[in-house]
């Protein structure tokens, strides 16, 4: 059996998390990631019959029974993943009862997965119903996106239009726009259910005054979505109080959708 510390999926997550910490997206122990692993690949590095212990998930995830996830730990700092992965990360499998996680590796210090796991699992279920290739749910707290939710009306059409108009790449990267939730208590099933409902329409969901939920088929795609939204939010915040000499128009946005063959949210353009 191969050494788990050499597993590409583990190395990739550690690199991504370290980068997110350095960018300030995940201060202290803020943020969390869940990565649905391929069973065959996971089996090259783990004895899938060896369950270290079981942990209650607090949510009936029967739709994900047997699925294996690499997840970040509660109270853990992203900056420490590269130095001590076995205490800060864990690999779990959703048991047959749907409400129990079987620990296959990690959380060696007796820890457990992120408190946002129910929200992650709900979002995985929602995204898999739309895109069977979806494997990543990623949550973080980027500065400018958070600032934008303080000063911008929390309306999906309006905030999407503001982001699309900041730079050419925005509508290309997230043509469906962004979902928006009002402020809600984190770590609850209620916010998980609300996020999962939005994930059926959007790959990015903004938690007002809290952060971003993003998804994708791999870590690059999920992180790429988030960093593009954050870059657009930064441009918005840097120029919000300045007179505009130039602006991306709705006709410009339409031209981009034609050029790149985008399946965009048509009701968000004034055409």
Question: Which one of 82, 102, 116, 247 is the catalytic residue?
Answer: 116
Q: To which residue do tokens 């870590």 refer?
A: 219
Tokens of 267: 């009701």
For β-strands 211-216 and 136-140, DSSP reports them as: antiparallel
Element (H, E) at 205: strand 204-207
Tokens of 132: 């069977």
Residue 227 is a catalytic residue: no
**Number of other CB atoms surrounding residue 66 within 10 Å:** 10
**Distance between CA atoms of 142 and 140, rounded to whole angstroms?**
6
- CA nearest 61: which of 258, 196, 167? 196
Instruction: Say if residues 231 and 167 touch (Cβ distance below 8 Å).
Output: yes
- CA nearest 99: which of 145, 60, 48, 143? 60
Count Cβ atoms within 10 A of the Cβ of residue 182 and give its class: 0-12 exposed, 13-18 middle, 19 or more buried: exposed
Q: What do you get for the CA distance between the two ends of the chain, in Å?
A: 58
Active site members = 116
């Amino acid at each position: 059996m191969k050494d788990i510390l050499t597993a590409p999926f583990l190395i990739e997550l550690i690199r991504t998390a370290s980068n997110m910490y350095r960018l300030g997206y995940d201060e202290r122990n803020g943020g969390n990631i869940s990565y649905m692993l391929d069973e065959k690949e996971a089996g090259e590095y783990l004895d899938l019959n060896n369950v270290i212990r079981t942990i209650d998930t607090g949510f009936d995830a029967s739709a994900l029974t047997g699925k294996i996830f690499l997840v970040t730990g509660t109270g853990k700092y992203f900056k420490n993943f590269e130095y001590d992965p076995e205490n800060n990360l864990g690999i779990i499998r959703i048991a047959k009862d749907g409400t129990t996680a079987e620990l296959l590796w990690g959380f060696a210090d007796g820890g457990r997965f992120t408190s946002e796991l129910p929200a992650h699992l709900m979002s995985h279920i929602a995204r898999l119903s739309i895109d069977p290739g979806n494997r990543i749910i990623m949550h973080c707290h980027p500065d400018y996106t958070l600032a934008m939710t303080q000063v911008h009306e929390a309306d999906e059409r309006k905030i999407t239009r503001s982001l699309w108009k900041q730079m050419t790449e925005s509508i290309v990267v997230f043509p469906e726009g962004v979902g928006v939730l009002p402020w809600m208590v984190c770590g609850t099933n209620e916010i998980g259910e609300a996020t999962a409902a939005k994930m059926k329409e959007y790959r990015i969901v903004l938690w007002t005054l809290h952060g971003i939920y993003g998804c994708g088929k791999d870590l690059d795609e999920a992180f790429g979505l988030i960093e593009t939204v954050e870059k657009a939010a930064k441009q918005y915040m840097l120029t919000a109080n300045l007179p505009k000499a130039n602006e991306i128009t709705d006709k410009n946005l339409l031209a981009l959708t034609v050029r790149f063959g985008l399946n965009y949210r048509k009701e968000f353009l004034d055409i």
